[in-house]
Structure formats: C-alpha cells, structure tokens
Homo-oligomer: A and B are copies of this chain.
C-alpha cells in the first residue's frame, strides 16, 4: 500500500542515504573504488532483488552504481521499498568494510 506523505517523511529519515525523486522514486548513488567492486555490489543487490521479487532500476556508470526503487502496482513508494533500501544499505556497509579490511594495515605493521 502506498505510503502517506507523513509516513514517507518518517521512513526517509530512517534511510539517510536515499533521496525522494518525482514523489515516487527512492534513489541512492553508491561510489566504489573500482569498476569490479561496483559489479560485485550489483550482483549482491540482484540477489536481494530476486529473493524479495522487487527489482530496482540499476545504473552502472564505471565506479558508481545508482539504484532507483518504486512499487509499480501501488503507483508509488511502499514499506517494501524502504525495507529493501535498508537491506541494500547493509550490503554497502559490508562491501565498504571489506575494502577497509583489504587496505588498512594491521595495527603495529609497517
């Protein structure tokens, strides 16, 4: 069911990386350190999308992945869009965490 404007404001505050576009899209850009990392993230997003049967529009512009969520049958944003956005944010934090582990030296090393 499409969220009311009040519900929408509340939910938007819970996913600070995402922005509302045209009143019916939830949009976020994710920047990576390489094209390969962007593709790996896209694959993880695709797994989530298939499991939830809710498919964002995905744009890959070299190292930047832009996702756009909406719920077609509701004609706008629903709780499902925000639940998926929150799950994708967790994937992104994990991907970033992995990168930091790769590039940060051990304490005391060097």
Contacts and interface: CB of A to CB of B under 8 A. Distances in A.
Interface of A: 35-36, 39, 42-43, 46, 49-50, 55, 57-62
**This chain: copies in complex:** 2
B57 A61 contact: yes
Contact of A35 (B35, B46, B62): B46
| 8 A-B pairs closest in CB distance | A58-B60, A39-B46, A59-B59, A55-B62, A57-B61, A35-B55, A35-B50, A36-B50
Of A35, A39, A42, A57, which is in contact with the most chain B CB atoms at under 10 Å from its CB? A39
A98 to B, nearest CB: 18
Contacts of A59: 57-60
Nearest to A39: B46
Given A42-B39, A50-B35, A60 B62 contact: no
